[in-house]
Amino acid sequence: MEAPFSTKVPSSWMTNWVFIGRGIRHSLRDVDAMVMAIVLPVMLMLLFTYVFGGALDPSGNYVEYVVPGIILLCAGFGASGTAVRVAEDLSNGVIERFRTMPIQSLGVITGHVVASLFRNLIATVIVISVALLVGFSPAASFGEWLGAMGMIILFILAITWLFAAIGLVAGSASAASGYGFILLFLPYLSSAFVPTQSMPRWLQGFAANQPITPSIETIRGLLTNVPIGDNAGWAVGWCLLLIAGAFIWCRVVFHGRSGQR
């Protein structure tokens, strides 16, 4: 009555596909996270345009400046959930089970990363839609839109892999969300909301050279036709470096956990 013993293994393509499906299901069923992904961008967009905007740029054009910053700020919030999910999988034993199976079990992390990309692209579309409603008038060609989307995707991947690594090292879901907060603070110390030249000199060095500033300047340049200069190179370089670094970090921590306990 029982099937004969099986020693089958799935292809690595299939493994990743299944894990991506799992990650997206997790995202869709986490009502808090989905509400956050949809409501937060709207709230921030309105807050920065109508509450702070007048003070920051009395000419009324602050919305033109702030859109890229809000996209990346939301991406950070959206990606932070990845740290919590990875930490949960680790603490409830699901990852251990995957690791006794003959599969590329790191795929479980990839699944969460792809789900985060999916959540954050929805948030990005919402930010841009609300921005257009409140007066954002981008001057981008189709090619520039594509370039901006590419930059946004690269940034989401970089910050999500970082959050995934934080989730792996944190040890618990609440610790993961605590450590993740540090990353969420970084957009405020960039050119997201005010030009870095307006900051005190000691802060400028950090603010102008951290990865978020060139990423924002690149998106801003593509959408509103301000000069990009060498920002695009820095932004792409930073993001690729962060993705590679965080991915290797994840791999080492993930596989290094054997031999412990």
Partner 1 sequence: MNHAIEVSGLYKSFGGHTVLNGVDLVVPRGTVYALLGPNGAGKTTLLRILSTLTTPDAGTVRVAGYEVVSQKNEVKRSISLTGQFTAVDEVLTGEENLVMMGRLSGLASKTARTRAAELLERFDLTEAARKRVKTYSGGMRRRLDLAISLIVSRPVLFLDEPTTGLDTLSRRVLWEGIKELARQGHTIFLTTQYLEEADQLADTIAVLKDGQIVATGTAEQLKAQVRTDRVELRDAEDQLVSRVTTDGTIRDLLGILNDLQSRVAADVRVSIQRPTMDEVFISLTSGDKEVSA
Question: Quick check: 142 binds partner 1 (CB under 8 A)?
Answer: no
Contact string (CB under 8 A) for partner 1, positions 49-88, x = contact = ----------------------------------------
Q: State the Cα–Cα distance between residues 236 and 150, nearest whole angstrom.
A: 10
Give the tokens for residue 41.
Answer: 């961008």
Question: Quick check: 253 binds partner 1 (CB under 8 A)?
Answer: no
| Binding segment toward partner 1, per CB under 8 A, in 10-18, 55-63, 179-187, 196-204 | 10-18
Answer yes or no: are the C-beta atoms of 37 and 78 closer than 8 Å.
yes
Residues listed for the chain:
261
Q: State the Cα–Cα distance between residues 151 and 203, nearest whole angstrom.
A: 25
Give the tokens for residue 141.
Answer: 């060609």
HSE of 189, CA atoms in CB hemisphere, 13 A:
16
Rule CB under 8 A: choose which of 7, 143, 185, 201 binds partner 1: 7
Rule CB under 8 A: choose which of 13, 24, 25, 221 binds partner 1: 25
Question: Quick check: 92 binds partner 1 (CB under 8 A)?
Answer: yes
The nearer residue to partner 1, 2 or 55, going by C-beta atoms, is 2
Number of residues this chain uses to bind partner 1 (CB under 8 A)? 34
Residue 211 backbone phi and psi in degrees, to 5: -60, -30
| Binding segment toward partner 1, per CB under 8 A, in 26-34, 145-153, 216-224, 225-233 | 26-34
Q: Which residue in 183, 209, 186 sits closest to 196, CA to CA?
A: 209
Question: Quick check: 97 binds partner 1 (CB under 8 A)?
Answer: yes
The nearer residue to partner 1, 28 or 132, going by C-beta atoms, is 28
